[in-house]
Structure 1
Amino acid sequence: MSGMYAQTVVIVRAPLVADRYGSEQRDWDAATRTEVSGVNVQPASAPAQSTEYITDRQTTATGYRLYTPRGMDLDLQETDRVEYAGMTLEVDGKVGRWPRPGGGVHHVEAELMEVD
């Protein structure tokens, strides 16, 4: 495998549970963790794309992109989180599964967002 796809991430998936009012929410304390090797994670652009939000406190949101190599599908959903390099990243939008001519998945791309 190419050195470009040498990173490992952990996909964190939390079940939906009902709160005391009957609304569903993610239970991150009961989340499952799945380690996936052979992917590429990099800043969303060079330099890294960041946005500062100033309300009651200053926060910075930094974007990353996750890519899989050709032929690798990934069990990643828009409601998951990804742990990488000591960060917890949220999946930002739909996960892109690029089709392979003749059927199947050519590769996967996902936008990730770290919020401090």
Structure 2
Amino acid sequence: MSVHYTQTVVIVRAPFVVDRYGNETTVRDWARATRTTVRRVSVQPDVSTEDTGDRPVVVTGWRLTTRRGVDVDLQPGDRVVALGRLLDVDGDVARWTVSGRHHHTEARLKEVIG
């Protein structure tokens, strides 16, 4: 086993809020979120930025990578608990293929403070 895939994360997925007319909205109901534990992944630092305008903001980037041949049920809009932090999935989840077969999955994650 590689030392790079030794971390455990929790994927947090919230359903969409349904309005009083029964229509699904774009707002997530985090109080009813499901939690799925995923083992043997790698979460490493990625690009970070700071803004010192009227309200100081730090956006810290992380990259989640699975082992070769492994996919995870992760979607844009999900959150990931990793390294003691609650991170948002940033954009689409990349599912890499080689010779027509799934090779590995990567996702950019971000934490916004401020």
The reply to whether TM is greater than 0.5 is: yes
- Partners in 2 of 1:31 and 1:112 — Cα distance? 18
Report the CA distance shift for 1:55/1:16 in structure 2 as closer, same or farther (over 3 A): farther
Match among 95, 100, 103 for residue 106 of structure 1: 103
Q: What secondary structure, in the 3-state scheme, does the structure 1 residue paired with 2:31 have?
A: helix
| Count of aligned residue pairs for this structure pair | 111
The superposition leaves residues 13-70 of structure 1 with CA deviations (integer Å, 9 ceiling, x where unpaired) of: 00001346967110011100000000000001xxxx2212345421100101000010
- Partners in 1 of 2:7 and 2:36 — Cα distance? 14
1:67 corresponds to: 65
- Partners in 2 of 1:20 and 1:58 — Cα distance? 37
The answer for unaligned runs of 5 or more in structure 2 is none
The answer for unaligned runs of 5 or more in structure 1 is none
Query: Please, what TM-score do these two structures have when normalized by structure 2?
Result: 0.88
Q: What secondary structure, in the 3-state scheme, does the structure 1 residue paired with 2:4 have?
A: helix
1:42 corresponds to: 44
Matches within 5 A, 1:7-86: 7-19=7-19, 24=25, 25-44=27-46, 49-86=47-84
Conservation of the 8 A alpha-carbon contact between 2:66 and 2:106: yes
Conservation of the 8 A alpha-carbon contact between 2:50 and 2:59: yes
CA RMSD of aligned residues (A): 1.8
Q: What secondary structure, in the 3-state scheme, does the structure 2 residue paired with 1:5 have?
A: coil
- Partners in 1 of 2:53 and 2:18 — Cα distance? 30
One-letter identity of the residue aligned with 1:97 = R
Percent identity (aligned):
57
